[in-house]
């Protein structure tokens, strides 16, 4: 896998990405509302991680600031407004995005209260007639604390003229209903296979000759971001290591699987480690339902999944999925050791074993 190229260059950041793949319909819907004089002051962009929500949000912001739904600034990196938004230099573009603090990426990303307070206070000021402004909030369902949510709600209820809100949300169910109800939803679906292939031909042309290209596309599940992460961050390699350990089923192998997940949590975050184990469970469920994946993500994948499936039934996998869904929040809330938390789930993927030894230092 040619990981070095993507690790070094990577795809464009959403603010500087001129490309739009597969979401032309969502863009057209937004533009039609504008041209018809029915453009809402707040929009909620939802959809799976990595499909291009933030990229589309920045394009909408550029068009609004330009005052024309067909302005070249939408997709021309040489346009002045494009460059200003990309560099964060546009005085009327306000972006609130959480950032990780400390050394542990599994912690909830934080958006400083002072930054939220200052930005929203600035936006409360009424501008001149025809003055356009944009407030783009990424990961809005987790980034804002109660104070920030209340301040945002006040602005959504009584927005100053010319102010456009764009909220990018991964899990809309976690956004307070009072905020969600005041936004027009704009859901972005996973890309179809042809659109995904077009995206990768532009964003990662080196994948054309990669022997694992089809596995990357299968792993992506319609998300260009997932496809690029598979290459740049080693998701497929780690998945193969985890699957091999789980298929072996011995106590030593389960300890190894928990170590793999704990190490991935340290590297990519607890949510990412949960997603990695969730990938095993999803593909295991397909084997149990006699619909084995047609494209393997790892060597001997179906054979290894079948070995795990002989120890479980579909109901057990569903129960594990429900536990996994709450694991990331539990690790953070109760400051649990990720190794111990993941081991408790890994144990359920095989026959009962003797109590595991506690690692030194935990």
Instruction: Report DSSP state, residue 350.
Output: S
- Cα separation, 283 vs 44, whole angstroms: 31
- Residue 74 CA to its chain's centroid (Å): 23
Average predicted confidence (pLDDT) for the chain: 88
Does residue 241 form part of some domain?
yes
Does residue 211 form part of some domain?
no
Q: What CATH number has the domain bearing residue 49? A: 3.40.50.300
For residues 348-361, give the mean pLDDT.
48
For residues 153-169, give the mean pLDDT.
94
Residue 84 has pLDDT above 80, yes or no: yes
> What count of other Cβ atoms lies within 10 Å of the Cβ of residue 79?
17
For residues 122-138, give the mean pLDDT.
84
Residue 108 has pLDDT above 60, yes or no: no
Does residue 222 form part of some domain?
no
- Cα separation, 232 vs 172, whole angstroms: 28
pLDDT tier at 4, thresholds 50, 70, 90 = very low
For residues 176 and 249, membership in a common domain is answered with no
- Per-residue H/E/C for 194-207: HHHHHHHHHHCHHH
Residue entry with tokens 């589309």: 56
Does residue 113 form part of some domain?
yes
- Cα separation, 291 vs 92, whole angstroms: 51
Q: How many domains does the structure of the chain reveal?
A: 2
130: alpha, beta or left, given left = phi > 0 and alpha = psi -120 to 50? left
For residues 46 and 179, membership in a common domain is answered with yes
Residues whose CB falls within 8 Å of the CB of residue 327, separated by 6 or more in sequence, listed in order: 270, 274, 341, 342, 345
In this structure, of 7-11, 263-267, 346-350, the range with the lowest mean pLDDT score is 7-11
For residues 172 and 267, membership in a common domain is answered with no
For residues 243 and 323, membership in a common domain is answered with yes
For residues 33 and 132, membership in a common domain is answered with yes
> What count of other Cβ atoms lies within 10 Å of the Cβ of residue 143?
22
Q: 272: number of CA atoms within 13 Å, CB side?
A: 23
For residues 90 and 149, membership in a common domain is answered with yes
- Portion of the chain with pLDDT greater than 90, in percent: 69
Distances (CA, A) of 12 to 16, 77, 86, 336, 355: 6, 11, 10, 35, 48
Residue 2 has pLDDT above 80, yes or no: no
For residues 59 and 119, membership in a common domain is answered with yes
Q: CB of 57 within 8 A of CB of 14?
A: yes
Sheet of 163-169: strands edge to edge? Answer: 93-96, 133-138, 163-169, 42-46, 184-187
- The kind and range of the H/E element at 186 are strand 184-187
Does residue 176 form part of some domain?
yes
For residues 62-86, give the mean pLDDT.
96
For residues 182 and 299, membership in a common domain is answered with no
pLDDT at 239: 98
> What count of other Cβ atoms lies within 10 Å of the Cβ of residue 115?
14
Residue 263 has pLDDT above 80, yes or no: yes
- CA-angle at 122, arms to 120 and 126, nearest 5°: 110
Residue 47 has pLDDT above 60, yes or no: yes
Q: Which domain holds residue 276?
A: 234-349
Q: 264: number of CA atoms within 13 Å, CB side?
A: 25
For residues 250 and 161, membership in a common domain is answered with no
Task: Decide: residue 88, CB within 10 A, 0-12 exposed, 13-18 middle, 19+ buried.
Answer: exposed
- Sign of the dihedral through C-alpha 47, 48, 53, 54: positive
- Cα separation, 288 vs 301, whole angstroms: 14
Read off the pLDDT of residues 111-127 as tens digits, 9 standing for 90 and up.
Answer: 777 888 889 888 888 76
Does residue 324 form part of some domain?
yes
For residues 318 and 242, membership in a common domain is answered with yes
Does residue 9 form part of some domain?
no
Residue 360 has pLDDT above 70, yes or no: no
Does residue 10 form part of some domain?
no
Residue 269 has pLDDT above 80, yes or no: yes
For residues 143 and 258, membership in a common domain is answered with no
For residues 60 and 121, membership in a common domain is answered with yes
pLDDT tier at 8, thresholds 50, 70, 90 = very low
CA dihedral 30, 93, 53, 42 (to 10 degrees): -50
pLDDT at 129: 59
């Amino acid at each position: 896998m040619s990981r070095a190229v993507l690790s070094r260059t990577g795809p464009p950041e959403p603010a500087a990405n001129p490309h739009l793949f597969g979401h032309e319909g969502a863009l057209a819907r937004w533009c039609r509302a504008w041209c018809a004089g029915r453009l809402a002051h707040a929009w909620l962009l939802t959809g799976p991680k990595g499909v291009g929500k933030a990229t589309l949000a920045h394009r909408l912001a550029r068009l609004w600031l330009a005052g024309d739904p067909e302005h070249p600034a939408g997709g021309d990196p040489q346009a002045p407004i494009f460059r200003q938004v990309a560099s964060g230099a546009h005085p009327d573009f306000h972006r609130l995005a959480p950032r990780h603090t400390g050394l542990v990426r599994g912690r909830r990303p934080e958006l400083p209260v002072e930054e939220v307070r200052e930005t929203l206070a600035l936006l409360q000021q009424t501008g001149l007639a025809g003055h356009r402004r944009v407030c783009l909030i990424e990961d809005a369902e987790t980034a804002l604390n109660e104070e920030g949510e209340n301040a945002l709600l006040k602005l959504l209820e009584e927005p100053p003229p010319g102010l456009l809100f764009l909220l990018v949300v991964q899990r809309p169910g976690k956004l307070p209903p009072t905020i969600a109800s005041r936004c027009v939803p704009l859901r972005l679906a996973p890309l179809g296979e042809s659109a995904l292939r077009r995206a990768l031909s532009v964003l990662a042309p080196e994948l054309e000759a990669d022997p694992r290209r089809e596995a990357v596309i299968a792993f992506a599940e319609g998300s260009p971001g997932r496809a690029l992460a598979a290459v740049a961050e080693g998701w497929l390699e780690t998945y193969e290591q985890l699957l091999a350990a789980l298929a072996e089923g011995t106590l030593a192998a389960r300890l190894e699987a928990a170590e793999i997940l704990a190490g991935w949590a340290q590297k990519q975050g607890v949510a990412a480690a949960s997603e990695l184990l969730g990938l095993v469970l999803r593909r295991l469920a397909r084997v149990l339902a006699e619909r084995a994946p047609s494209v393997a993500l790892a060597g001997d994948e179906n054979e290894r999944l079948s070995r795990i499936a002989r120890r479980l039934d579909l109901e057990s996998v569903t129960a594990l999925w429900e536990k996994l869904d709450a694991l990331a929040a539990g690790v953070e809330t109760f400051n649990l050791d990720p190794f111990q938390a993941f081991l408790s789930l890994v144990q359920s993927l095989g026959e009962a074993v003797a109590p595991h030894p506690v690692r030194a230092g935990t």
